[in-house]
Amino acid sequence: MRFLARGHQMPARLIVGAFVLNSGLSKLKGGDEVAEQTHGTATAAYPFLGSQDPRSFTRSLGTVEVALGAALMIPVVPSLVAGAALTAFSGGLAGLYLRLPGMREPGGLRPTQQGIPLAKDSWLLGIGSALVLEELARSREERHRS
Higher pLDDT, 21 or 120: 21
Packed helices 79-99 and 54-73: angle between N→C axes, nearest 10 degrees: 140
Q: Is the pLDDT of residue 22 over 70?
A: yes
- The two counts, helices (H) then strands (E), for the chain are 6, 0
C-alpha dist (Å) from residue 92 to 7, 34, 57, 130: 28, 19, 14, 17
pTM: 0.90
CA distance linking residue 99 with residue 46, whole number of Å = 8
Give tens-digit pLDDT for 34-70: 999 999 999 999 999 999 999 999 999 999 999 999 9
Among 99, 5, 85, residue whose Cα is nearest residue 47: 99
Packed helices 54-73 and 10-29: angle between N→C axes, nearest 10 degrees: 160
Cα-to-chain-centroid distance, residue 30? 19
Q: Is the pLDDT of residue 137 over 90?
A: yes
pLDDT reported for residue 61? 98
